[in-house]
Amino acid sequence: MKILVIQTAFIGDLIMTTPIYRALREIFPKAQIDTLVIPQSSIILKYNPYIDNIHTFDKKNGFARKIYSFFRIVHQLRKEKYDIGISVQSSYTSAFILLLSGIVRRIGYRRLPFATDKVLLPKGLHNRLRVLKLLEPLSNNTFSDSTEIFLSESEVLKAREIIQKNSNNNNRKIAIAPGSVWETKKWSSEYYAELTNLLRSDNVDVFFIGSKQETELCEKIISHSQNQNAYNFAGKLNLLESAALIAEMDLLICNDSSPLHIANAVGTDVFAFFGPTVRQFGCFPYRQNDKILEVSLECRPCSKHGGHRCPLGHHNCMKLIKPEYVHQLITEKFANSLPKT
Query: What pLDDT does 61 receive?
Result: 74
Indicate if 251 and 207 belong to the same structural domain: yes
Residues 31-49: tens digit of each pLDDT: 999 999 999 999 999 999 9
pTM for the whole structure: 0.95
Please indicate, yes or no, if residue 145 is contained in any of the structural domains. no
Does 306 have pLDDT greater than 80? Answer: no
pLDDT number for residue 122: 86
Q: What angle do CA 303, 309, 315 make, to 5 degrees?
A: 85
- The answer to whether residue 276 sits within a structural domain is yes
Q: Which residues contact 28 (CB under 8 A, 6 or more apart)?
A: 1, 3
197: pLDDT strictly greater than 90: yes
**The domain boundary residue, chosen from 133, 167, 183:** 133
Are residues 91 and 177 located together in one domain of the fold?
A: no
Q: Tell me how many domains the chain contains.
A: 2
Whether 141 maps to a domain, the answer reads no
In a domain, 146, yes or no: no
The Cα–Cα gap between 10 and 227 comes to: 33
Domain at 48, CATH number: 3.40.50.2000
32 shares its domain with 108: yes
Domain extent, residue 26, equals 2-133
Q: Is the pLDDT of residue 341 over 80?
A: no
The CA angle 92-93-94, to the nearest 5 degrees, is 95
Of 81, 98, 133, the last residue of a domain is 133
Let me know whether 61 and 192 are in one domain. Answer: no
What pLDDT is stored for residue 338 in this prediction?
Answer: 83
**Sorting pLDDT into bands at 50, 70 and 90, what band is 65?**
confident
Q: Which pLDDT band holds residue 170 (cuts at 50, 70, 90)?
A: confident
* Residues contacting 66, CB < 8 A, separation 6+: 58, 59, 60
Indicate if 8 and 123 belong to the same structural domain: yes
Asked if 119 and 168 sit in the same domain, the reply is no
Residue 63: band (very low, low, confident or very high) from pLDDT cuts 50, 70, 90: confident
State the angle between helix axes of 92-100 and 63-80 in degrees (0 to 180), rounded to the nearest 10.
40
Average pLDDT over residues 139-155: 97
**Residue 143 domain-assigned (yes or no):** no
Q: In terms of domains, do 121 and 176 share one?
A: no
